[in-house]
Amino acid sequence: MNDDNRVLIAGGGPIGYTTALNLAKFDIPFTLFEAGEEISEDPRAATIHPPTLEMFDTIGLTKIFMKRGFVTQNYHFRDRKQGLIADFNLGVLKDDTAFPYRVMLEQHKISRIIADVLEDYDQHEILNNHTVESVSQDNDGVIATINTPDGLKEFRGRYMIGCDGGRSNVRKSIEVDFEGFQFEERFLVVSTPYDFGQHGYAITNYIADPEEWCALFCVKGPDDKGLWRVVFPIDSDFTEDEIFDDDAIEKRLQGFHPRETKFTVVHRNLYQVHQRVATKYREGRILIAGDAAHINNPLGGMGMNFGFHDAFNLTDKLNKIWFNGASEDLFDQYERQRKTVASEYLQAQSIENKKNLERKNQADREKFFDELRGIAADDEKQRKYLRRVAMIEGVERAASIS
């Protein structure tokens, strides 16, 4: 396609694909560049929160997500020694949302679902093995330098949207600071088909411990029979060989849930975790969304959802500019809305989620556990609490910013 009057999208992850589908439904032509050969199946994000389900319902995908994933109305906060502390019921949000539950669906499945839907649309192309190296702009549009299988090439477009992750080359091209910090420990994710649900665990569990907190959740996996992921914090002193050693993995799993036979481990991944927000989301015709604009620890399952919210917000404004003659100042409003809530909600809540799991002082821990029990026992307190952690407040706050 040689038509320069199109949107260029960097990154073929769930945020890039969501951006693409919204543009397709608005009949805005685009080219999506993905560095990989195909959609990556790395076990990463999998939680879809209520307001995100509302957004995808507007483009007809929520029912598909519900069919393909696990629909779960509750989640547990636990302690490794005491067991269940609080069972939170998203059903109390029934008057706040049409979808008072979470859907557990792996991000690569989300991308594939959207890729299949995009086959019904024209005026676009998806180019795998194409890495966006840099982007510049002039009065007429943007120029993206792309590393292709045939070498470096330039592509022109009217706008560029960078959905190319935490190391975004699009963000680097507009010289934006990525303010924040990196946690000293790394996160180890171990996946096993062993059914923890038979022992009373919910589909999603956050498990506090002063020495080794963990998180446990279940996705359908490659065969839809269920795959459980356990997340552990890993001291920075350990080497990857030590961390990935079979005996070391088995010891961690047995320490979490002792059993007579060994666990079957099908995936193991190690992640460096950051809390960062870009100082700006827009420079002229170049914009960023998703992990390119903000990254956070995965506790609470907020990062991918926040990226989806970016995508819906931005594409709605782009549609008004493209067809209705609206001012490009709407892009500044996008930045104000999404950057504000990234700091006030995404960063604040995800950092708090981690602190709550790793509290050291026993008196503080017990006080916090009592607070959680009190919240879970009172529907109105629970509703107020869940409106924040289920991301409803953040969406409302963004909408209030002019």
User: In percent, how much of the chain has pLDDT > 70?
Assistant: 100
Identify the CATH homologous superfamily for domain 7-70+104-179+275-357.
FAD/NAD(P)-binding domain (3.50.50.60)
Mean pLDDT of 53-80: 97
Model pLDDT, residue 35: 94
Rounded to 5 degrees, what are φ and ψ at 271?
-125, 135
Mean pLDDT of 203-212: 96
Rounded to 5 degrees, what are φ and ψ at 227?
-135, 125
pLDDT exceeds 60 at position 1: no
Gyration radius of the chain's alpha carbons: 21
The closest alpha carbon to 310, from 327, 329, 294, belongs to 294
Specify the pTM: 0.96
The closest alpha carbon to 391, from 21, 60, 93, belongs to 93
Average pLDDT for the chain: 95
Q: Quick check: 237 and 257 in contact, CB under 8 A?
A: no
* Domain limits, the chain: 7-70+104-179+275-357
Band the pLDDT of 175: cuts 50, 70, 90. Answer: confident
Type of residue numbered 290: G
Could you give the C-alpha distances from 352 to 5, 260, 279, 337, in angstroms and in order? 44, 36, 22, 22
- Tokens read off for 91: 């059903």
Mean pLDDT of 132-160: 97
Rounded to 5 degrees, what are φ and ψ at 55?
-65, -45
Q: What angle do CA 394, 75, 312 make, to 5 degrees?
A: 30
What are the tens digits of pLDDT across the range 310-351?
999 999 999 999 999 999 999 999 999 999 999 998 889 999
